[in-house]
C-alpha cells in the first residue's frame, strides 16, 4: 500500500535533522538532474529538426495542418 504525502511528511520529520538534510539534497539533486536531462534532450531534438529543415531534408507543416493530422491519428487509434 502506498503512503500519502502527509504520511510521508510525518515519517520524514521523525528523522534526525542530518538525515532530513541529506534526503532533501538528494530529492532536489535528482529532480534537477532529470529535468535538466529532459530539457537538454528536447533542446537537442529541436536543434536537430531545425538543422534538417534548414538543409531541406524535411519540410514544414502549418500549425492547423499539424493539428488536423494529430486529431486524425488519435481518432484512428481509438
pLDDT tens-place string over residues 19-66: 999 999 988 887 777 778 788 889 899 999 999 999 999 999 999 999
**Rounded Cα gap, residues 71 and 56, in angstroms:** 27
Range of the domain at 64: 5-77
Number of independent structural domains in the chain: 1
pTM metric for this prediction: 0.46
**What is the Rg, in whole angstroms, of the alpha carbon atoms belonging to the chain?**
22
Amino acid at each position: 500500500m502506498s503512503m500519502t504525502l502527509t504520511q510521508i511528511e510525518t515519517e520524514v520529520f521523525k528523522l534526525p535533522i542530518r538525515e532530513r538534510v541529506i534526503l532533501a539534497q538528494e530529492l532536489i539533486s535528482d529532480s534537477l538532474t532529470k529535468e535538466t536531462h529532459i530539457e537538454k534532450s528536447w533542446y537537442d531534438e529541436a536543434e536537430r529538426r531545425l538543422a534538417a529543415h534548414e538543409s531541406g531534408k524535411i519540410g514544414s507543416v502549418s500549425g492547423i495542418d499539424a493539428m488536423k493530422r494529430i486529431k486524425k491519428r488519435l481518432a484512428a487509434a481509438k
